[in-house]
């Protein structure tokens, strides 16, 4: 029963993040809610970093002797790396949208 509850919480958590990103599907048609999407990005970074840490690094770290400080530093490093990746993706998407808008303004068919 406890394992099912853990899975249910994970599904609800990631579903909430997807719901926060939902305005991006209509970004070209209507204005998006910046605060909602920003919160979605922040939660995505935190949840993805925690997931990566729990799945990849936690079993290896605790197979041998580990300290709390090392675990916290690993977690912070992972969250920062995922933040960097998300920021780079957002910049490239923004540049693409700006290029698309400029192209449409120059060639209004």
Kindly indicate the confidence band of residue 7, based on its pLDDT and cuts at 50, 70 and 90.
confident
What pLDDT was estimated at residue 15? 92
Alpha carbon 91 to its chain centroid, in Å, reads: 14
Task: Inform me whether the pLDDT recorded for 16 exceeds 90.
Answer: yes
Kindly indicate the confidence band of residue 64, based on its pLDDT and cuts at 50, 70 and 90.
low
Task: Express each pLDDT in 72-98 by its tens digit.
Answer: 887 788 888 888 888 888 888 888 888
Alpha-carbon gap, residue 29 to 6, rounded angstroms: 38
Alpha-carbon gap, residue 44 to 87, rounded angstroms: 12
Tokens 């709390």 correspond to: 68
Tokens of 2: 């406890």
């Amino acid at each position: 029963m406890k394992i099912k509850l853990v899975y249910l919480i994970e599904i609800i958590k990631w579903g909430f993040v997807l719901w926060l990103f939902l305005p991006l599907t209509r970004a070209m048609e209507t204005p998006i809610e910046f605060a909602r999407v920003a919160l979605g990005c922040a939660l995505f970074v935190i949840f993805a970093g925690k997931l990566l840490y729990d799945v990849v690094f936690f079993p290896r770290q605790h197979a041998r002797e580990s300290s709390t400080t090392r675990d916290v530093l690993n977690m912070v490093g992972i969250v920062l790396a995922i933040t960097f990746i998300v920021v780079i993706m957002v910049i490239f998407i923004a540049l693409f949208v700006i290029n698309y808008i400029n192209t449409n303004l120059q060639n209004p068919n």
